[in-house]
Amino acid sequence: MSQGTAWLVTGATGQLGTELQRVLTGQDVTALGRARLDLTDEAQVRGVVSRWRDGAVARGARPVLLNAAAYTAVDAAETDEGTALRVNGQAPGWLAEELAGTGRLVHVSTDYVFAGDATAPYAVDDDPAPRTAYGRTKLAGERAVAAVGDDAVVVRTAWVYAAHGSNFVRTMLRLEAERDEVSVVDDQTGSPTSAADLAAGLVEAAQAPVRGVVHGTNAGSTTWYGFARLVFELAGADPERVRPTTTDAFPRPAPRPAWSVLDPASWVAAGLTPLPAWQESVRACVAALRG
């Protein structure tokens, strides 16, 4: 770790925020969840961040903010886009402005900024075309950070899970114990990404000279069906109990991208350590959950 860095982690109670705190154990860390930092409240955001920033500078430390907070309720955002826009779209700009000229911002974005209809991994300079309120608001956040034009990097990721919180791995393990068979969609493709791996990558990116946008996911890709089969297999269950189905079988208010694979070339070009193969990280997560 760099000496003389003061870290602020937002979204501290979420999957990624929890893992960021773990990576930064022993460092100068301030971790704030929604109860202490309401990203819909501009005055509070600016006040909290400016006081933390000034305190860090007074101690001779470089302020680095890891923004892991987001409005991630994809379906709810369809009818609550205003709130999602403040959290995902406007707040990142406020954070960037408060750090401008003084510190560094690492902001987490998403594959949902793309249309999800590609057949090859999305590169960082591919045209965004979000099809959901969530995607639109996250793209607005990327643009708000870019508009400040200072020391910041945006990291797009996808399909994040952890050994804690609410996520696909834990849901599949629960359903394996409850049901004889589980139907899982086989027409959405992405890269399952470990929050633990991503957190380590974000901290590394924070200390590297990279700016702009990079893509950070675990290596390789699969469908939700393939993901579920591996979870069952690792849990000692018969993966044939997972049955393939289509997205149409599970209608949702917000359309899910059929293709969420992000090209890691930008990550590698920045000199950052490639994240492990997705299968390897799922194996580690299931092992941790099964004790």
Question: Among all residues, which ones are annotated catalytic?
Answer: 134
Taking a C-beta distance cutoff of 8 angstroms, is the pair 158, 256 a contact?
Answer: no
Taking a C-beta distance cutoff of 8 angstroms, is the pair 158, 260 a contact?
Answer: yes
* Of residues 52, 72, 128, 55, the one with CA closest to residue 254: 72
Rg, C-alpha atoms of the chain? 19
Give dist(CA 1, CA 87) in Å, integer: 29
32 — phi, psi (to 5°)? -125, 125
- Looking at this protein, which amino acid is placed at residue 60? G
Taking a C-beta distance cutoff of 8 angstroms, is the pair 191, 158 a contact?
Answer: yes
- Looking at this protein, which amino acid is placed at residue 250? F
Residue 154 CA, chain-centre distance (Å), reads: 11
173 — phi, psi (to 5°)? -65, -40
The DSSP code sequence of 124-148 is TTSPP---SHHHHHHHHHHHHHHHH
